[in-house]
Structure 1
Amino acid sequence: MVLTFTALFLVAAAPAAALTVEDCVRLALARSPAVRAALADAQAAAALVRSARAAYWPSLAAKGDYGVSKGFDRTVTNGGQTDALVSLGATLLDGGLRDARLAAAQASLRSATAKEVQQRADVVFAVRAAYFQAVAADAALAIQDDDIRMLRAYVALLERQEARGIVPHNDVLRAELAVQAGETARRASAADSQTARDALAILAGVDARAGTLEEPDVRFVPPRGEVVEAAPVIVDARAAAESAHREVDAVRSERRSQVKLTADGGALGVRPGPTFRDNGGGQFLLGLTLPLFDGGVIAARIGAAEATALGTDSRLEEVRQTLRVALARVEADARHAEADVAAGRRTAPIASEQFQLMRARYLGGGNVRLLEVLDALSVYADARLSVPRSLLAYRTAVAAGGQALGEVPE
């Protein structure tokens, strides 16, 4: 019994494994309804490609009829009809219509696939942004807890000195106000942490409210030109332009002649017995269609399709420009935040030393006012807090760059 309770205690006391950002991303992608919807759209586009390819094949169908007519003119009705036929239909020449529709369907598939990748990248960004915010808020909480602890110890020291008549009561009040300000800032950080962890719980389907989060290793790498051109937003816009141009070809094919072949074989007659015994046979029909005049309908449709294609070409250039501007902004933000992180790490020890000196001079009776000590403590706290804040800005900028490029982890 003792061994059983000991084993249960050890299992219950075992620390939970840390939740990494990669774990959250993987879980979120597996359960995202937006990703499932985008995948369904891509599957529908793939089915349309198969349908467009099937148009090159001939069609084969079987049909049968049996009917009896009474009282009508037999010259018209023959007294009924019995038939059992196999029909073959094939398009021999269509002016390029099937080629255009197949190319348009393939372009639509590329567009749907690019949208699916971009949707995955959007989910990845949402998870990373929430994770990075939670990590930054947790780091801020640790710093603020330390600052509040120092302020409370400082208040206790001032209260003892006030009792001995060394400092006025106003100094104690100012220190207590600093504690209240620190606790207010801590509540804001706690709310940020809770919000981010709740978002992770919703997106990834895991309870991240009390789990341990790991410091992510994020590095900014400027994208190369071919990487930018392979971004899903550009692939989507390029595919939309390709589909529009193929639609122009499809409309133009309506001006060209079409040749179709139909063939039927089987039995056709009036009464079932004689029909299947004596009336077996076959026929074929080769048809040619050549448009001569339509009042300008096809020309108008061609003009509309060409205008649409021109618009998609312009939108492709617009998307390319917008993406490059966004990536330039991401790089600037990442470089700025990276410099702020380095500056914060250099400044924190200096601010700590300044605060210690100011406090020692104040408590030692030097010519230093309490306001100067509190200002030094505030500078020290801000220097320490600037590091997780700048890291959050840096990591978010890198994640935004990945979202713009449609990057999804393997």
Structure 2
Amino acid sequence: MNNEFLSDWGKAFCKTVSSVFFIDTDGIVIARAPDEYRFGDSVSSEPFFDEVLKKGSYSGITTVDGRDSFLSCSPIRKYDDLVVGFVAVSQTITPFLLESLLPVGHMTLTFQGRRGFSERLRANSPSGRYRSIIVDDGLFDLYFLSDESERELIKLQRNIIITFAIVTISTMIFLIFFLRRRFEPYSKLVQGLVDYSDKRIDLDGLLDVTSGAASNGVEEIRHIAEALTDMIKVLKNRVDDIQSYSGQLEYLANCDSLTGLWNRRKMDQVLMTETENSRVNGTPLSVIMLDVDYFKEVNDTYGHEMGDAVLNSISILMKSCLRKCDSAGRWGGEEFLAVLPGVDSQRAWEYADKMRSTMENHTFRDGMKITSSFGVTLYRPGEPINEFVARADDALYDAKRKGRDRVEAR
């Protein structure tokens, strides 16, 4: 019951947490760190304290001093069995804290708030490459960002467009207030800028307007129109280059350099999208996982160049057996994954057997014959993606264990 001692003891831990406070069995705060002079208030009406009294402890998300926080509360026992009070530790949920929890830089984690109201906000928010996570009674959004190079490129493009918009608006104001009454051709320039601002014409349309005004006989109009024309041409070329480069970057970031199929990162995004579509629309979704049989022996006997050629041929044969709406990617090493939206387990098994037969009958370089083993599974609405893929992997290993060159389903 020594307030000063408890407060000093709690301060020792406040470098890593937001607050530490001690509560007696009636719910009265008898000491708080780092606010050593703030005590005597009651938390007996707080939901977390009610749960502590019922269950003996609490760990979850609640409001502490008006801020959403992670909180853990445990009893303090005398003689190992007599509860004389409680100690609670809280950590305020901040963007910096959530960022520190992520393993890689191309993800962001945001706290949307308590479930209910936060879910209504979430439903009205723009869609993105995200996944909702529920912890205790709180709702978090895990968002997958694009490549760093792509983000920088998009940022540069946005800055150029904003700069051009500022210049356009400034020019438009100047033309409207000072020159429109003097020269009728200014009206065409102004209207062209307004049409572009309202997205009724594109840069090419605006370029036609300024080029036409540049041929006007009035010297002032000609100089202004020529300056705008040159500026639009430079901006148009720069935007075209950025858009082309951005598309190339996105393609390179999502493709496996050896086979040309989607890479693991892109396949994760495909799985996230297709499982959500399956859950919302109630349509079936299947995956096929394949692994090249005895691939290590190919590398050991013929070298890695031959192994790369085999993987490239496998990817071509795999895509030839799938529909345009299906997605195929290299999952890792000699493992490949196909995602088949709208396909049940029976049809997925038939697609897999078609691949198996095609690869078995194909003659690879130097007359080599190679087979593959396949695992097939059907998505169960609501299950985590890692469990969905793991089940296909288990089916694949069933095929390996039963002799290879076969299809197994789970």
Normalised to the residue count of structure 1, the TM-score between the two structures is 0.24
Normalised to the residue count of structure 2, the TM-score between the two structures is 0.24
Larger radius of gyration: 1
Comparing both chains, which one has the higher relative contact order based on Cα–Cα distances under 8 Å and sequence gaps of 6 or more?
1
Higher helix share: 1
